[in-house]
Structure 1
Amino acid sequence: MLTFASTWCFLLLPLPWLVRLILPPKQQHQVSVLVPFGDRLQQVLGGTSSANTRPQSGSRRVLAIAIWVAVLTAVARPQWLEPPITKEIPTRDLLLLVDLSGSMSQEDFQNDAGKEVSRLDAVKEVLDGFLAKRKGDRVGLVVFGDAAYLQAPFTTDLQLSQELLGECEVGMAGPRTALGDAIGLGVNLFDENAERAKTIIALTDGNDTKSKVPPVEAARVAAQRDIKIYTVAIGDPTTVGEAKLDEQSLKDVASEAGGKYFFAADREHLAGIYNELDKIETKIIETISHRPRTDIYYWPLLVALLLSMFAKAIATWRGRRHTTPVEQDQRIHVNPITGEMEVVA
């Protein structure tokens, strides 16, 4: 699409005509000799009569107008608008805390094909679909076992987050559970002054056995920074020992941070939880649009230059056409018998 940065410049279009009306025309004073036989003399020399020597000014006037319009168009800065470029601005930071402790290897979940898979594989499968719907969010990933580790920083590249999640394996962070430390690490990852909504989703199947900071205390710190925490419990509530499921602690964490507690007994319940999270954490996508502009003022400027050169070429050609070269050794005399003027070499 063609547009002009300074459209007002076209108001100067009648300027040459106004100048011509206001300013007096240039007076030309030429010295000439008037002789009664001037026309005869010019015919003898091979020229045309003085009445035909005045060049026609119509074409020159048209060229002058075209040159002025082209120059004025260049001054108005013509620009070509490129197709709009739309960029989506993230409106929420979403951090996933994934438990990689040894109990996540128990195969008590079923996938879509009905095959028994481990808890971690079920989490990966459902999280993969969950991440695919996170358009407009910045997603980060923290894994934890004996300690918490940043697996993926906040990014809008959801495919990268999915790939890094797929590389997670049970036990790679240690056999025990440090949920409190994972929450603490997650809190520090958020930008303190960011206007985006801040959400943590923690997925774990065991009680905290390794953290230096209790999960509830870490949740209070998160609440002070306007970070919501949703806890998802994975596993069998009847399990005892270090692998037991501490539901009360997870409920307290969610309550302190303004979130909600969920229990996933199987894969269907886990998928249902993510659907519920979609309803709770509604997505608001803010977009900005920008149309690049490319200056093309040089094209009308080039046209003006070519027209000016063409006008000069026409003026030079017309001047040569109306001028007959006279050889230096030619002389004019009057024939005494006929009385006619003749050119003698």
Structure 2
Amino acid sequence: MIELAAPWILLLLPLPLLVHWLVPAYKRRMAALRLPFFQRYVQAAGIAPAAGAQVMSRSRILSALALLCWCLLVVALARPERVSAPIHWQTSARDLILAVDISGSMDEKDFAASDDETLQRLAGVKRVIAGFLGDREGERLALIVFGTQAFVQSPLTTDLDTLQALLARTEVGMAGPHTALGDAIGLAIRQFDASDVSQRLLILLSDGADTGSRMSPINAASIAADRDVQIITIAIGDPQGNGENRVDTDTLEAIADTTGGTSFLATDEQALRQVYDRIDELAPRQIADHSYRERQSLAAWPMGVALVLVLLAWLWRSVSLGRRRLS
């Protein structure tokens, strides 16, 4: 399909006719031959002399070529384009960050797998997250790992294969032995600052109480709520445990409630999978529709034809003048 990017330019098409009708003809004084006995000549011819101007005749062919060239140039200024069929695609209007606890307590081997195998907590979490990421095509995700310190393992990206590879290389203790929940939330907020989508979701997985944050987890959650960040917390481990191995479910629930999110407890692989299945129900993914048309400019074609016509007119006029001189 061919379209004009600036169709209003076509209003210039009748401009030569308006100039021809409204603008007076150009006048120029020319030398004349003075004849003796002029009155006798005109009397013999039977005409009466009068002052006037002679309008030079124009070749109809040259006039037609000039009008055609003008039309072609106006069409070129209107920017004709070949437009392809619309190309549609969808992207997610939601950005999602996974914050995974890799403190020393995640080394406990008490995570029940679906095949009756007991896994290390982090290994079980990795297995479930891998399946979750496989269903996130079209979404932007980021990965934050935290222990004593919180680190961005992967910024917001649609390259989920790379994110999967980075998660697979994550090991317990890489970020220190303690748990800094507040720092992980604060780091996630800074990552969302680079996002311009309206739906921002942080999934926080932890198996221990906050023991090393520079910022209180509740204060961090309040800031997240002000930035329209929703937090879903997932407790991994035994709430009845002792020391750092005990999950502080009260804090995790308070974090989720502050941001309008939900808190879950996952003690085995099956429960964790059910949690991830419910995430889309609790925070449905918003889809943004996009369309694109490829446009190829065709303005060079009418300009090229106009140039060829001008060259042909010049050649025809030169040949005509040459013949007149010879005759």
The TM-score, its normalising length taken from structure 2, stands at 0.74
Pair 270,298 (structure 1): closer, same or farther in 2 beyond 3 Å? same
Q: How does 1:113-262 map to 2 (within 5 A)?
A: 116-134=118-136, 137-191=139-193, 196-262=198-264
Report the alpha carbon displacement of residue 84 of structure 1 after superposing the two structures with TM.
Answer: 5.4
Report the alpha carbon displacement of residue 201 of structure 1 after superposing the two structures with TM.
Answer: 1.3
Paired residues of 1:90 and 1:196 also in contact (CA < 8 A): no
Name the residue aligned to 1:76: 78
After superposition, what is the alpha-carbon deviation per residue over 1:51-106, rounded to whole angstroms, capped at 9, x for unaligned? Answer: xxxxxx66555534432322222233323446657686763342221011233234
Q: Which runs of 5+ in 1 are unaligned?
A: 32-56, 326-345
Q: How many pairs does the alignment contain? A: 303
**Counterpart of 1:299 in 2: which secondary structure?**
helix
Residues of 1 paired with 2:18 and 2:212: CA distance?
89
Paired residues of 2:105 and 2:244 also in contact (CA < 8 A): no
Which structure would you say has the larger Rg? 1
Identify which range, 68-77 or 181-190, moves more after superposition. 181-190
**Counterpart of 2:271 in 1: which secondary structure?**
helix
Residues of 2 paired with 1:229 and 1:109: CA distance?
23
Aligned partner letter, 2:172: V
Name the residue aligned to 1:312: 314
Report the alpha carbon displacement of residue 204 of structure 1 after superposing the two structures with TM.
Answer: 1.4
Paired residues of 1:93 and 1:139 also in contact (CA < 8 A): yes
Name the residue aligned to 2:46: none
Residues of 2 paired with 1:168 and 1:289: CA distance?
38
Root-mean-square deviation over aligned CA pairs: 3.9
Pair 106,292 (structure 1): closer, same or farther in 2 beyond 3 Å? same
The TM-score, its normalising length taken from structure 1, stands at 0.70
Report the alpha carbon displacement of residue 4 of structure 1 after superposing the two structures with TM.
Answer: 2.0
Paired residues of 2:97 and 2:141 also in contact (CA < 8 A): yes
Pair 101,314 (structure 1): closer, same or farther in 2 beyond 3 Å? same
Pair 13,178 (structure 1): closer, same or farther in 2 beyond 3 Å? closer
Residues of 1 paired with 2:97 and 2:157: CA distance?
10
Residues of 2 paired with 1:144 and 1:238: CA distance?
23
After superposition, what is the alpha-carbon deviation per residue over 1:24-69, rounded to whole angstroms, capped at 9, x for unaligned? Answer: 69999998xxxxxxxxxxxxxxxxxxxxxxxxx6655553443232
Q: Which runs of 5+ in 2 are unaligned?
A: 34-58
Report the alpha carbon displacement of residue 275 of structure 1 after superposing the two structures with TM.
Answer: 1.0
State whether structure 2 residue 264 is matched by structure 1 residue 269: no
Paired residues of 2:238 and 2:245 also in contact (CA < 8 A): no
* Identity %, equivalent residues: 41
